[in-house]
Amino acid sequence: MNRDLIRPVSLKSVLLYPPTVRLDRSKLTQFYSTICEYKPYSQFAFLPDGARLMNDQATQLRLSHDRLTFQERIPSDESTYGTVRNFEHIIQDFWKAFTPGIFVTQEVVLEAVWPLEDTTATEYIESRFLRIGRETARGLGAECAGIGLKLVFPQFAPAKAVELRIEPFFRDPKFLFLAISSQDMQPVQDPAAVGERVRWVEHLLGHEVADFVDRAVF
């Protein structure tokens, strides 16, 4: 399997900060104007507890009284580099505009697809990872379209939990679907650490996870 063909398709990160941060409408408007210089959002709307910037449901930035939620659909002709760079830029501008002083926790979810050459994703998962397959699962009383795995690491690193999903990509049976979710419980007072955590997940996907999926035979 060629790990160079792993294609990230979605990035999401949720940052919690103290609820004392004041999201004044004038500052939110200026923040939107600043961001649009490098990351155009076509829609901007005030919400009762903040604001939402969006292009569609899969690509938006939401600010509320205690959290920032960023999610982005990554175009098929782009790498994660531009998406992560824009995210880091947004966090820096948010830090300057609203001075939260600290980010309490951070969640990162990176989803990707990986094409297979000589088999389907379901067959690959069943033959490499599982002792049961779709035929066995029929014993539950219905046809089974596919089987995947969820691996949970409550203490992947100090104050960091990780979950990994390996599933068929049901839109196309020739693709594996990979999803890594990390939760960092260690507060940070440097906005640069936010981008570093995203890049950590990206590295995990392209190296340790790729090795595990490619070499696993149980």
Summarize pLDDT for 34-72 with one digit per residue, the tens.
999 999 999 999 999 999 999 999 999 999 999 999 999
Tell me the whole-structure pTM to 2 decimals: 0.92
134 pLDDT band (50/70/90 cuts)? confident
Residue range of the domain that includes 116: 3-215
Strand order in the sheet with 149-157: 43-47, 50-56, 59-63, 67-73, 7-16, 105-115, 175-184, 160-168, 149-157
88 pLDDT band (50/70/90 cuts)? very high
Structure tokens at 206: 């392209």
**Mean pLDDT for the chain overall:** 92
Structure tokens at 155: 């203490």
152 DSSP β-pair partners: 163
Per-residue pLDDT at 49 = 92
Yes or no: say if 74 and 83 are a contact pair by the CB < 8 Å rule. yes
Whether the pLDDT of residue 218 is over 70: the answer is no
Residue 205 CB partners (closer than 8 Å, separation 6+): 6, 8, 110, 112, 178, 180
Model pLDDT for residues 94-112, shown as the tens digit of each residue? 999 999 999 999 999 999 9
Q: Which of 120, 90, 117, 95 is nearest to 198 (CA)?
A: 90
Whether the pLDDT of residue 145 is over 90: the answer is no
The rounded distance, in Å, linking the Cα atoms of 182 and 165 is: 12
Query: How many structural domains is the chain composed of?
Result: 1
